[in-house]
Structure 1
Amino acid sequence: MFVVGLAAPALLASATTAAAISAAGISTAASAERAAVAGAHPAWATASADRGALDPAATLDGIRVFLAGKDPAGLESYARAVSDPRSPSFRHFLNPRQIADRFGPTPAQTEQVTEWLASAGLTVTGTDPHFVAARGTVSAAQRAFGTELHDFADHEGKHRAPVGAVTAPASLAKAVLGVTGLDDPAKQRVEPKVKADPDPYGPPATIYRGLPCSDYWGQKAATDRPKVDGKTVAWTPCGYGPQELRAAYGVDKTGLTGKGVTVGVLDPYGSPTIEADLAAYNTKHNFQQFRPGQLKQYVETGGATTCYGGPPGGLYIEEALDIEAVHAMAPDADVAYIGAKDCESTSLIDAVNRAVDGHLADLINNSWGIGSEPPSDAVRQGFEQAFQRAAVSGIGIYYSSGDCGYEDPETPCGKGDESTRKQTNYPPESPWVTAVGGTTMGLDQHGRKVAEVGWGNVRSNLTEDGTGWTPAPKDAYPSGYTGGSGGGTSIVFRQPAYQAGVVPDKQALERPDGSTSAYRMRTVPDISADGDSSTGMLVGYTGRDKDGVARYHETKLGGTSLSSPLIVGIQALAQQAQGSAIGFANPQIYARYGTAAYQDVTDTPVSVARNDLTNPNDPDSAPLKRLYTAGFSGGPLAAFPGYDRLTGVGTPGAGYVATYRR
C-alpha cells in the first residue's frame, strides 16, 4: 500500500478562518484576509520533534495548488446521483468535456491563483486543469501560504513540514482544493502491495518458494509435521493458474469474456518486459494470448528513479500480477496499463486524473495504497476529486484493501508499516472507491471451492524437538500475525448511503480503538476474493536469478494485490453482461447483498504447512519449517455471517455475473 499522516474525523477538512501569522519571512495579515485551506501539517510534525526553521533561501520544488473547480459540491452531488440506482440521473454519465465545462476551474480562477503565487515571489512552473505548480525559496513559500516551514525529526532523519495552518487569501480560498509540496515528499509516497528485492540494473530479483507444495488443496499430507487439533495438515498449494481461478468463481460457464470492456491497471512505472512475460505466461498455462493491440500502455516517464530506496524494477512484479489476474478473469477485455512516473502521491493523483480525463478505461484496478497513516488533507482532497470525476464519467475505481488487517502496531506487519494505532488504509477507505478484501481459498483438483475463510494469517514455527508448533495458532495474535485482508472502520469518512442497512451498527459505530463513534462511519472492505499468499496465483515475470542473469520465472503471489484485479476482471464480465457501463460499483454491489449473488465467508480455522526459504531469492537456502493458520478469528477483525470488516459482503458466487444481465 502507500502511507501518510493523520487527519481529522470528518469527510473533508473544512476551510476556516486562520489567525494572522507574524514570523520571520512571513507577512503579517489580518485574520479576515486569509483563510485556511487543506494543507499538510501531518501528525508526525509534533513540537517535540521540531528541529527548527528551514533556511529561508533554500529552494522548494514541486509545490502544487490543487484547484477546486467552479462547483465542487455539485460534482459530489452529481457523482452520487449518477451512481444511485434509485436516482433519475442513474447512469447519465458525462464525457470529459462536459465534466470540465460543468465542474472544472474557470480560466479566471487559474489566473488568480497564478498571480497570487507569483506575487509572493514563487515561480509558476506549469498549469493543468487540476492544479497550478510552482517552485521558489522557503521564504517565498512561507509568504504565500502564511506559515513557517520547519524540520521535524523521526527515526529516518529530518523531514520538512508546515508549523501551522496552510492559508490562502480569503478571496481565493474557495478556488483552492489543497496545497501539497510544503511537506517532505518522502513522507507522502505510495507503496505497492507486492514487494521484491530490487535489482539496481533492471529486473527484480527472482522470488522462489520452498517445496514441497500441493497441486490442489489438501493433496499432499505433511505426515512428518505435527498434527493440528488431532488432524494431519497438508502442504500449501503450489499456486493457482487462470483456469482454476475462473472455475472457482464460476465465470468459465458464463460464456462471457469481457469483450468490449477496457480494464485499467494503474501502478507506478512500467515493465519493459511485460509483453514478453504475458506471452510466456499464457503459453505455459495454455491460456488465451493477448491479441495485437489488446494491451495498451500509457506510461509517464521522467519521475524519481527510486521508490522506497529501490529502483523501478522492484515494482514490475506488481504490474505482471495485476494484468495476469485481470486477463485470467476477462481474457477478451482490453487492458490499459497506466504507469505513474514514480511513487510520489502527487504522481499517482496525476495518473488517476490522466485515466479519467482521457477515459482510458471503464474500470481501473489499483493495487497500491498510502498505507497505514492517512495522508495529508491536501493529498486526500486531490484523490477524492479525481474519484468523484471518475464516478461522473462512468468509470469504476477499485483498490486493494490492504495486507495487514487493521494495521495494528502490535503486529509485525503493522509495526513494519509504522502504524501508530489500529486503523484503515487510504484510498481504500474512500467512499468513492470499491475496496477489495482477501480470503483464504482452497480449490480441489477440479477448481471447486472446498474451503474459504477470511484471510488473516498467523504463523507458528516447528519446535526444536519437532513435536509441536510454537506459538499455538490460538495464541499467535498479535506476535505471529503475518498479514491479512485490510479492513475496519474509518475515523475519517461518514457512512455512505449504500452501506446503510447492510453494515451492522456495531461495526459502523465501533472506532478502531474500541470506542463508540457519534456517527456511523465508512467500513471496508466492500467485497472480497482470494488473497492469501498460501492460496495465491502463479505469476510470470522476468526476474534476475542469483547468477545475475534475467530469465522468465513464475512464483506464487497473493495479497489483496491479487484480490482486487480478480474482482475487477469479474466486474468486466458483469459490464459485458449489462451491456453498458457499471461506473462506480458500490451502490450496485450493496444492492445485491443478501442474495445468492454472493457467497458469504465465515471463519473456521484452516492450516497449511510451509517450508519458507531463509533467502527467498536463493532456491538453495535453508528452509524454515512453519505452519500458517487462517480463519482463527483471533484478531480485531473476523469473518462471520453477513457483512463483516474482513470480507465485506462476501465473494462473488457462480451466479453473480448473471445478475447484471438485462
Structure 2
Amino acid sequence: MKLLPDSSVNRKNIVLKKSVAALLFASALTLGFAAQATDTLVGANHLLNANLPAAVSSGLAAHAGVMDQTKSMKLGLILPLRNEAELDSLLLQLRDPQSPNYHHYLSSAEFTERFGATQKDYDAVVAWATSNGLTVTQTTPNRRIVDVQGSVDTINRALHVQLGNYRHPTENRIFFAPDREPTLDLAVPLLDITGLTNVNPPKNHLVHGSDLQHMQAIKATHGSGPSGEYLPSDMRAAYYGSGSLTGAGQTVAIFSYDGYKSSDVTLYYSKTGMKSSVPVKNVLVNGYSGVCDAGDGSGTSTCDDGEQVLDIVNVIGMAPGLQQVLFYEGTSAGDILNQMATDNIAKVISSSWGGGDFGSSDDAIYKQFAAQGQTFLNATGDDGAYNSSTWLPPSLDPNILDVGGTDLTTTGPGGAWSSETGWSGSSGGYYSKAGYSTPTYQKLSGVITSTNKASSTYRNDPDVAAEANYDNPTVSNGSFETGFGGTSFAAPRWAGLLALANQQSVAAGKGTLGFVNTKIYNLGVGSSYKSQFHDITSGNNKPDEGSGSGFNAVAGFDLVTGWGSPQGAALINALTQ
C-alpha cells in the first residue's frame, strides 16, 4: 500500500508579535497561559512563548504574598531551533517511503549541527546568565537548554518580574508565578524559560478504582493475576499472541518525575510469578537524587512508586527480550526529554505523566526525536474528554503518539483477545487552548466524520488505545495492590509493542519506525484496517470534571480510543512494510 505522506509538518496556532520598540507581547494560548502587556525596558527581549498563567493575568488567582527573596530556584533557559523550515521538510522525507531520505535518521550531533542554536548564540545566553548573577548548573550537547540556579531576588532582577505566591482559583493550594511576562536584556532570542511557575504540578495517569469500580472491572476480566486481574504477560498474549518477537536488541526509555525502589519491582515479580532478565538502568538527570518520595518532590520517606513500577513491568511484559530499559528520572520535563534526545539510545520512549513543566516548547524535542528515529508515546489521561479541567500537556502535541484507554476482555488467563470497549476515563477529544491545529495526517478522508465529532480545526486525541480499566495490580512502597487503572498502563504496553516492531524493522534493514502517526493514520483509512487494529465501537468518556458530555467510541477513528488497540503481528507487519 502506498502511504500518503504529510504535505506539511503541523505547527501550533501561535501568532507572535515581537518588536524592540513594542511593549505588547501577543501569543496564542498555550498550556492555559495568557500573554499580557508589561512595563519593561526599551530594547528588552521577550520570550517567544508565554510564561504567565492565565489565572494570574486574568486576576482570578489572588495574590498571596511575595516569595522569600533568598529562596533558590532552578530555571531552564531554552533556545529555539534553527532552520526549522528545513527540519520540517526533512521530517516529511524521513516518513515518506518514496523519498531517498526515508528512515535515514540523523545522529544527535548531526541534528545539532543542522538545527540547533549556534555556538555563538548559546555562549551569549551562558554569558548573560552569569553576568546577571545566575549560576550555570548544566549545559547541553544540542545547545538547547542552559540550566541555571539563583535566588528569587536575582531572578526578579534578571527577568524584570516579581515572583509571588498566588491562591489557585479552583483548587485549595498556593502556587508561585511571575507577575508579568519575563523580559531579558539579551539580543539572542529565547524560546522559553521553565521553572518560573508550578501552577500545573506533575501528575501521573494512574488511578485506583473504588471498590465498586474494581468489582465491576473484574467481572469480565480473565487475567492471570489475583481475582483475575491482568498481568503484563496477559497483555502480550492478547495484543501480540505467541509470535517470536521479543524486542531483542531494542532499548525502551521511560520518563518519570520521580524515582522508585528496585525492591518494589522485585516484589511485583515475586507476587505475580513473573520473571524478567531485562536490565533496568536508572538515568538521573541534572543532579536529581533518584530518591523516591511521596510523588511531590518532598523527599519524604513514603515512596509512592506505583506508577514507576507499572511502567517498567508493562514495557517488559510486552517485550520480554529487550536489551535494556532506561529509566530517566528528574524534576524538569525539559531536561529529561532533552537528555533522552541527546543520548539517542532508546528508540521508543514511554511517558505516563502530564503537567509540571511540560509545555509547547517541548515540541522542538519531539521533532528531534522524529529526526533521530525515536518514537515518543504519551498517556492521554484518566479524566474523560478534554476541557479546561482535564487536559494536561503534552497531550495533543501533533508530534507524539497519544494513547487512550480501553476495557479489555480475554478468553482466559494468558488467553487471546475476546472483546473490548472504550474505557470511561480515557481522555481524548480536542481543546482549543492547547494551541495545536489539525495535523495533516488527521485530514485524510475518513478520519474526521460527523459520527465521531472530531474537530477539523484542532488536533484530535487519542491516536490509539489499550487496556486501562480498574483490573490491574501494581506495587507501591512495599505493598502489592490491586484495582488500578489508567492510561498509564496503556502507554507502556504500546511502547513494548513498538519495540517488537522495531526489532522486526531493523532485522529487515529498514531502521526503526520513528514517528509513526502518519503510517498509523494511513493504515486506519486503508482497506485492511480491521485486520490490523481492534476497532472499538462502544463506550463513552464523559469528563469527570467540568463541562461536556464526552464522546462515543464509534466505527473507525474516535475520540475515546483513536484507531483502537493493536492486532499484534498483523499491525507490526503493516508498520514495517
Shift of 1:496: 1.4
- 2:265 partner letter: D
Shift of 1:424: 3.5
Give distance in 1, aligned partners of 2:437 and 2:216. 44
Alignment of 1:253-332 (within 5 A): 253-274=242-263, 277-278=265-266, 281-282=268-269, 285=272, 287-290=274-277, 294-300=279-285, 301-302=288-289, 307-308=295-296, 311=300, 313-332=302-321
Contact 2:452–2:551 (CA under 8 A) maintained in structure 1: no
Structure 1 position 637 matched with structure 2 position 551: yes
- 2:230 partner letter: Y
For these two proteins, the number of residue pairs brought into alignment is 524
Structure 1 position 444 matched with structure 2 position 411: yes
Shift of 1:168: 3.4
Q: Quote the residue 2:145 is aligned against.
A: 131
Q: 1:406 to 1:273 in 2, by over 3 A?
A: same
Find the residue that maps to 2:54 and give its secondary structure.
coil
Structure 1 position 369 matched with structure 2 position 354: yes
Give distance in 2, aligned partners of 1:583 and 1:387. 11
Find the residue that maps to 2:431 and give its secondary structure.
strand
Q: Quote the residue 1:163 is aligned against.
A: 179
Contact 1:152–1:161 (CA under 8 A) maintained in structure 2: yes
Give distance in 2, aligned partners of 1:368 and 1:182. 19
Contact 1:323–1:335 (CA under 8 A) maintained in structure 2: no
RMSD: 3.7
Structure 1 position 599 matched with structure 2 position 508: no
Shift of 1:135: 4.0
Alignment of 1:40-119 (within 5 A): 40-45=51-56, 46-51=58-63, 54=66, 58-59=70-71, 61-119=73-131
Residue in structure 2 matching 1:537, options 464, 469, 472? 472
For residues 580-622 of structure 1, give each alpha carbon's deviation from its aligned partner in whole angstroms, at most 9, with x where no partner exists. 20111111211211422112101169xxxxxxxxxxxxxxxxx
Structure 1 position 14 matched with structure 2 position 16: yes
Contact 1:216–1:443 (CA under 8 A) maintained in structure 2: no
Shift of 1:60: 5.0
Give distance in 1, aligned partners of 2:345 and 2:200. 26
Q: Quote the residue 2:7 is aligned against.
A: none
Q: Quote the residue 1:479 is aligned against.
A: none
Q: 1:11 to 1:91 in 2, by over 3 A?
A: farther
Q: What TM-score do the two structures reach when normalised by structure 1?
A: 0.70
Residue in structure 2 matching 1:583, options 505, 514, 531? 514
Alignment of 1:601-620 (within 5 A): 601-603=536-538
Q: Quote the residue 1:525 is aligned against.
A: 462
Q: Quote the residue 1:405 is aligned against.
A: 384
Moved more, 357-366 or 44-53: 44-53
Structure 1 position 217 matched with structure 2 position 220: yes
Give distance in 2, aligned partners of 1:98 and 1:485. 38
Q: 1:565 to 1:179 in 2, by over 3 A?
A: same
Contact 1:537–1:556 (CA under 8 A) maintained in structure 2: yes
- 1:644 partner letter: D
Q: Quote the residue 2:572 is aligned against.
A: 657
Q: 1:124 to 1:601 in 2, by over 3 A?
A: same
Alignment of 1:214-253 (within 5 A): 217=220, 238-249=228-239, 251-253=240-242
**Structure 2 unpaired stretches of 5+:** 1-10, 25-37, 541-547
Shift of 1:509: 8.1
Q: 1:218 to 1:538 in 2, by over 3 A?
A: closer
| Structure with more of its chain in strand, by fraction | 1
Find the residue that maps to 1:522 and give its secondary structure.
coil
Find the residue that maps to 1:440 and give its secondary structure.
strand
Alignment of 1:443-482 (within 5 A): 443-445=410-412, 447-456=415-424
Contact 2:405–2:465 (CA under 8 A) maintained in structure 1: yes
Structure 1 position 487 matched with structure 2 position 413: no
**Structure 1 unpaired stretches of 5+:** 1-8, 198-206, 220-235, 409-418, 457-483, 512-518, 544-549, 606-633
Give distance in 2, aligned partners of 1:10 and 1:211. 40
Q: 1:437 to 1:49 in 2, by over 3 A?
A: closer
- 1:659 partner letter: A
Q: Quote the residue 1:334 is aligned against.
A: 323
Q: 1:194 to 1:312 in 2, by over 3 A?
A: farther
Q: Quote the residue 2:344 is aligned against.
A: 359
Identity level (%) = 25
Q: What TM-score do the two structures reach when normalised by structure 2?
A: 0.80
Contact 1:192–1:315 (CA under 8 A) maintained in structure 2: no
Residue in structure 2 matching 1:349, options 334, 337, 357? 334
Q: 1:70 to 1:573 in 2, by over 3 A?
A: same
Find the residue that maps to 1:240 and give its secondary structure.
coil
Give distance in 1, aligned partners of 2:48 and 2:451. 32
Shift of 1:94: 0.6
Q: Which has the larger radius of gyration?
A: 1
Contact 2:406–2:561 (CA under 8 A) maintained in structure 1: yes
Contact 1:242–1:285 (CA under 8 A) maintained in structure 2: no
Give distance in 1, aligned partners of 2:67 and 2:192. 24
- 2:488 partner letter: S
